[in-house]
Chain A
Amino acid sequence: MSEAPPAPAAPEITAAERDELRRHGILLTSLEELYNWGRSNSVWPLQFGLACCAIEMIAASMARFDIARFGSEVFRPSPRQADLLIVSGTVTKKMAPQVVRLWNQMPEPKYCIAMGACAISGGPFKQGYNVLKGIDRFIPVDVYIPGCPPRPEALLHGLMQLQEQIRAQKISGPEAPRHLRPEASGEFPVPEFGGSDLVPPRNPDLWEPPTIVRAE
């Protein structure tokens, strides 16, 4: 009995063709797509506010802006039940260890949005002595939302960007996200209070200051 010839590779289906099939009641999907579709539409944020950005976050969750349209209205009061840490406001150096600890207490898969100028870079307090110059020194940030504070629309846009990132994630292979790689840890070192600054002042695995040569 002769061997069957190898099956020809299935041609790629475009989104338009898939929509056409869907119109006829045929749903073509993959496990990856289904998995990411479900996850991206139920991102539960941690109920956690730091400064004035938190007011905008609260406004986004109310009826006028209605974050429930994106499946994120369930603000969880416990980090054990949350998927998303919205760092909404100024992170003082005194507060930074607690923020990192909350992040460590969240189960994988977890995501972080740095909301507003302070969470991104220290904002107007960048030259001060008591404000962390960006939460990305200690936590891997997925989406940065600029603004001071960002409007609720900007937060919703950031959430949509995060949903697109989640939908694009692979569930296997070397490009898989952190929570699917067994060697990657979801725990990040918590800084300690030192005599004049946090010890260490940043997580060198996550962030290094840029090396810049001045122009003049």
Chain B
Amino acid sequence: METPGQIRDRILARFSGAEVTVVTNPGPAAQHSLLVGAAHATAIATFLRDDPVLQLDTCSNVTGVDWPGREIVETVRQPLAPEEDADPAAPPGVIEEKIKRLVPGSLEVVYHLYSVALKHGPVILRLRTADRAANVTLPSLTPVWRACEFQEREVFDLYGVKFTGHPDLRRILMWDEFQHHPMRKDYVEPDDYEWEPTPHDAVLTKARRHYPAPPAAPEEESTP
């Protein structure tokens, strides 16, 4: 099977203006994936399915990833302007400036594609939303692979990605009245903690919050 780089080159040759980048996986699995821009996603998916060399006719898995926004601290080193009475032989001073930069988060949908006809795979597609709050719309690939239907509903339910073009976008695991997306990193579960025999870590913190400390022991009477 072609490498992700070769597939990317063929996609770029076919669709001018498409955004496709190879996301390398540094782990031993080395499952590299293709990050596809949302604008051309449906056309690229159709191309991957119908291409005679690839024939990726099966979408075996759709899942989601939540990338919360994070703060990056960058250190910038700038040479200090030399003072007038300084020793010219001394090395010039360096000032370090720390710049905080906010990287916006995004929601990601991952598709694992296989070819049953040619017995190869997987080719991994990734789609990313613009952010995690308002612009969480992505094109649905259900019209390309029918198997995506329930799994895209699951991603909608648990991550809150809205798929345009999905035939029946409803919650699939949680009830319809549920208002949150439980697989997001900032989801706070309902506070229905109960007694736990051996609490530790986060559960211990919860236990301390729920069960008050015992009243202070009465002070021992000091001998007169």
The reply to whether A196 and B211 form a contact with Cβ atoms under 8 Å apart is no
Q: How far is the CA of A207 from the CA of B211 in the complex (A)?
A: 18
Asked if B208 is at the interface (CB within 8 A of a chain A CB), the reply is yes
* A194 and B177 form a contact (CB under 8 A): yes
Q: Are A197 and B214 in contact (CB under 8 A)?
A: no
What is the interface residue range for chain B against chain A? Answer: 20 to 34
Task: State how many angstroms separate the Cβ of B129 from the closest Cβ of chain A.
Answer: 23
Q: Is the interface of B mostly helix, strand, loop or mixed?
A: loop
Chain A residues, Cβ within 8 Å of B175: 93-94, 193
**Which residues of A108-142 are within 8 A (CB) of B?**
126-130, 133
Query: Is B16 engaged at the interface, CB distance under 8 Å to the other chain?
Result: no
With beta carbons under 8 angstroms apart, the residue of B189, B190, B207, B208 that contacts A201 is B190
Rounded to whole Å, the gap between the CB of A127 and the closest CB of chain B is 6
CB distance from A57 to the nearest CB of B (A): 25
Q: Does B203 contact A (CB under 8 A)?
A: yes
Chain B residues, CB < 8 A from A212:
195, 211
Contact across chains for B176 and A130 when beta carbons are under 8 A apart: no
**Interface-side segment among B31-39, B84-92, B133-141, B178-186:** B178-186
B71 CB-CB contact with A under 8 Å:
no
Q: Is the CB of A214 within 8 A of B208?
A: yes
Interface flag for B224 (CB, 8 Å): no
Task: Report whether A133 and B194 are in contact in the complex, using a CB–CB cutoff of 8 Å.
Answer: yes
Judged by a CB distance under 8 angstroms, whether A210 is at the interface is yes
A129-B189, A196-B190 are contacts. A213–B177 as well, Cβ < 8 Å? no
Question: Separation in Å of the B65 CB from the closest CB of chain A?
Answer: 19
CB atoms of A196 and B179 under 8 A apart: yes
- The A165-216 residues at the B interface (CB cut-off 8 A) are 193-197, 201, 209-210, 212-216
Cα(A210)–Cα(B175), bound, Å: 29
Q: Residue-by-residue, is B198-224 near A (CB-CB < 8 Å gives 1, otherwise 0)?
A: 000001000110011110000000000
The answer, yes or no, to whether B168 is at the interface (CB within 8 Å) is no
- Taking CB atoms, residues of chain B closer than 8 Å to A94 are 173-175
Chain A residues positioned under 8 Å from B178 (CB to CB): 193, 195-196
Given contacts A195-B178, A213-B211, contact A129 B190 (CB under 8 A): yes
Within the complex, the shortest CB–CB distance from A28 to chain B, in Å, comes to: 48
Contact of B194 among A128, A130, A193, A209 (CB under 8 A): A209
Bound together, the chains give a CA A72 to CA B212 distance in angstroms of 47
Given contact pairs A127-B203, A130-B182, A210-B195, A197 touches B190 in the complex (Cβ within 8 A): yes
The 8 A CB mask of B20-48 against A (1 = contact, 0 = none) is 00000000000000000000000000000
Neighbouring B residues of A201 by C-beta, 8 Å: 190, 192
In the assembled complex, which residues on chain A have CB atoms less than 8 Å from the CB atom of B196? 126
| Contact assessment for B214 and A215 in the assembled complex, using a CB-CB cutoff below 8 Å | yes
Alpha-carbon separation in the docked complex, A193 to B196 (Å):
26
Task: List, in ascending order, chain B residues with CB within 8 A of A213's CB.
Answer: 211-214
**8 A–B contacts from the bound complex (CB under 8 Å):** A126-B194, A128-B189, A129-B187, A129-B190, A196-B180, A209-B194, A213-B212, A214-B212
Give 7 new A-B contacts, CB below 8 A, not counting A195-B177, A196-B179. Answer: A130-B182, A193-B178, A194-B177, A195-B179, A197-B190, A210-B194, A214-B213
